[in-house]
Amino acid sequence: MNGSSEVRFHRGVMNSPASSNLRRQVAELLVLRASGHLSDHQRRYPQWELPNSTLQRLLQEGVGGVILLGGTAVELQQRTQQLQGWSSQRLLFCADVEEGVGQRFEGASWLVPPLALGRLFRDDPELAMALSERYGRCTGEQARRCGLNWVLGPVCDVNNNPANPVINVRAWGEDPSSASALAVAFQRGLSQADVLGCAKHFPGHGDTASDSHLDLPVLPHSRERLEQVELPPFRAAIAAGIDSVMTAHLLLPELDPQQPATLSKAVLTDLLRRQMGFNGLVVTDALVMEAISARHGAAEAAVLAFEAGADLILMPADADAAIDGLCAGFNSGRLPLERLEESRQRRAHALQSIPISAPSGPIVTAADQALEAELVRHSLTIRDAVVRADAGINLVRVDSLLPGAAALSGWSPALRIPETQGFRSVVLHGEGLSPWSGQPEAPLALDRLGNGPVMLQLFLRGNPFRAGRDAQEPWAAAIQQLVALNRLAGVVIYGSPYLWESLQAILPSGCPAAYSAGQMQEAQRQVLTALFPTSSPAGGGGAFTD
């Protein structure tokens, strides 16, 4: 039965006061997606972001949480106030701000990816943990100033698979030790800022080669292996008092050969609740993701998740169908009403543990700006620092334009600084005109790019929804082609340490090169002022995009 037919069926029988009260109680446990912008026409993802009329109705009917994306930090302040005004209860307001609020909302601090500190932990664990705690506090304080009370982090996945297309640099470590220590330090910072945290994606999404936004990954490991690698960061976060745990949409045949973790009682109730002793909120990952929505309608997915042990239902494909499906489950006895009350109490306890009012003052403080710059400095590698060419092509590849804090704009240092030295910018987004010739040994179609030395800047970090497509691009062969023609002016990698490690091995000695974990403008500025020490802010050659 599809979602729409379920809605029509259940609404026809649920019109008594008792049914109305049950519906409000069930609705408390939903967290719906909304744009951070105030107006409907500003929504960037209307297939997921509900229009204001629907949001207002659902909040008035009892929906208890909103996840936000898009807009500026100032708009987010206004938006959370608007949404709260549509509800008679205190709402949970959350966002995926794993790398600072500025990662999603322009005008706040966008910090380096957590894996940068995981790498620093190898050489200086005390410094890495101190920075991680400050990272968490900065994120939490800015979140509160913007009206958020729940940060969907830390990522507790151990990224021990470099080919992972969905976790990658989002993880705090590539081994259980660093991932555990730094996730706990980040959570300490969140607690100091009086916001809720969320350990994700349970029981561990770090060793997968597919993206659960697009498919259902399989983690074929034994329970013994899970205890050694995947579970330690979650155990550490639970011991540190983490407020919530988010489920992973992946199949673990050794624990449950039938259902993914999000829908598995063996994973959420037996393992997480009973064996690991977690008593806080369990929230699903977004149920609109293909790993779930391709296999279940909105109502059945919500019922299966709640039946498995989840408390909060995040981003169901159809909110009304999810509520009605859950109500039908309680009315039929499939779901015990005691579980509904337990989940509502957990939600209430979480909200009672944090203050209502947001602190006053600017969203970004001088201390926040200093932290952003310090984190960038500790995550840079500069090799043979000075670009000697005085003109040429600034070839920039961007793997995605993130909503909120895009890596590139017309005034980004990655464009502006090379342009002051006479470089003409060509920006490749992966769409439109292709830079590729089709020749494996000489993949760049240099006749399309023009003459002169090429300054190559690659913004490639491994992002969800791209299914690892960026990793298939022949940048190693392109660099060898430019070296053979004596046309390589320099190379900068922003994002993936794995790409940097593979490419730096083929760079000739004396070739200016740099790696930055961060892609934000502060990272660009630090890298390129080192590579172009005589650059000035003025000028510009006029970038174009394919």
Query: Around 407, how many Cα atoms within 13 Å sit in the side-chain half-sphere?
Result: 27
| CB of 316 closer than 8 Å to CB of 262 | no
CB atoms within 10 A of CB 227: 13
Whether cis (ω within 30° of 0) applies to the bond prior to 201 is yes
Catalytic residue positions, numbered: 213, 285
Rounded distance, CA 542 to CA 281, Å? 51
Rounded distance, CA 422 to CA 538, Å? 12
Q: Give the residue among 480, 474, 416 at the shortest CA–CA distance from 454.
A: 480
Instruction: Please give the helix or strand (H or E) that residue 92 lies within, else none.
Output: strand 92-95
Q: In what order do the strands lie in the sheet with 92-95?
A: 150-151, 92-95, 65-69, 30-35, 313-314
Q: In what order do the strands lie in the sheet with 198-202?
A: 198-202, 244-247, 281-283
Strands 423-428 and 392-398: parallel
Query: In a 10 Å sphere around its CB, with 0-12 CB exposed, 13-18 middle and 19+ buried, how is residue 21 labelled?
Result: exposed
The dihedrals phi and psi of 198, each to the nearest 5 degrees, come to -150, 115
Alpha carbon 70 to its chain centroid, in Å, reads 13
Query: Around 179, how many Cα atoms within 13 Å sit in the side-chain half-sphere?
Result: 30
| CB of 298 closer than 8 Å to CB of 321 | yes
The dihedrals phi and psi of 54, each to the nearest 5 degrees, come to -70, -45
Token pair recorded at residue 462? 């491994």
The dihedrals phi and psi of 512, each to the nearest 5 degrees, come to -60, 130
